[in-house]
Amino acid sequence: MRIILLGPPGAGKGTQAKSISNKFSIPHISTGDIFRKNISEKTPLGIEAKRHIDKGHLVPDKLTIDIIKDRLDNEDCVNGFLLDGYPRTVNQGEALKTLLDEKDIHLDTALLIKVPREFILDRMTGRRVCLACGASYHIAFNPSKVDGKCDLCGSDLVQRADDTEVTVNERIDIYEAQTQPLIKYYGDKNLLSEVDGTQEINSVFDSICSILAEIKNDKH
């Protein structure tokens, strides 16, 4: 399947992406994870991206689109992919469409994880992430088995530099201004599906599986 995850920061995209990617054996592609890896390795891309990310701003489209273009050319994407955090602007959505058209493939769905603004701050400030594998935890809502260590790979968990109250509010504003228009964009193409992201993590996943099963059946 070829899936895009939409939703505000803290909606649970990364959390659900890990489970979806396992179940459907498709690569989980997170532009945020790609940027964080480059930042920790101090690559030129990482140094440029950090300037924007630390302020809660988007990384410029040109850089981001080139990254996705490269990543989708990878062999592991031939049977499908799950995009988490891309596209974040209509311009990025258009660029994705051009890339997919060139390959003569199309999206199955843009899945919106709906979570109202008032849920987001608690989720973000309690978030802890594994920089090695991208797994996301929460100190209260989804703690790791061993305090401070990733369940999946055992690496240390850290708080992201951009998960502070001020930056989170900035990111939500930017989401509303620049990313929300993608909901209409995919709705107009009949590609939008929606899930209630305020349920507990396993229930969100069950709902997502039902939606994806229906989409798969419709195609056959």
Residue number, 24 or 198, with CB nearest to ligand ADP: 198
Q: Which residues contact 146 (CB under 8 A, 6 or more apart)?
A: none
Is 150 annotated to bind a ligand? Reply is yes
For 58-199, where are the alpha helices, taking DSSP H only? 61-72, 90-103, 117-125, 165-174, 181-188
Q: How far is the CB of 41 from Zn ion (least distance, A)?
A: 17
On the 0-12 / 13-18 / 19+ scale of CB atoms within 10 A, 69 is middle
| Shortest distance, position 124 Cβ to ligand ADP, whole Å | 6
Do the annotations mark residue 133 as ligand-binding? yes
171 is catalytic: yes
- Given phi > 0 = left and psi -120 to 50 = alpha, else beta, which region is 3? beta
Known catalytic residue at 127: yes
Given a contact cutoff of 8 angstroms between Cβ atoms, the answer to whether 113 and 11 are in contact is: yes
Per the CB < 8 A criterion, the answer to whether 87 and 5 are in contact is no
Q: Which is nearer to ligand ADP, 107 or 138 (CB)?
A: 138
Q: Is 160 tagged catalytic?
A: yes
95 or 150: whose CB is closer to Zn ion? 150
Label residue 75 exposed, middle or buried (CB < 10 Å: 0-12, 13-18, 19+).
exposed
Residue 148 CB, nearest distance to Zn ion (Å)?
12
Please report, as residue ranges, which positions from 128 to 187 form the binding site for Zn ion (by CB under 5 A): 130, 132-133, 135, 150, 152-153, 155
Q: Is 87 labeled as ligand-binding? A: yes
Binding mask 74-93 for ligand ADP (x = CB under 6 A): -----------xx-x---x-
Distance between CA atoms of 71 and 99, rounded to whole angstroms?
11
Q: By the 8 A CB rule, do 111 and 195 touch?
A: yes
Contact residues: Zn ion, CB under 5 A: 130, 132-133, 135, 150, 152-153, 155
Annotated binding site: 10-15, 31, 36, 57-59, 85-88, 92, 127, 130, 133, 136-137, 150, 153, 160, 171, 199
Residues annotated catalytic, as ranges = 13, 88, 127, 160, 171
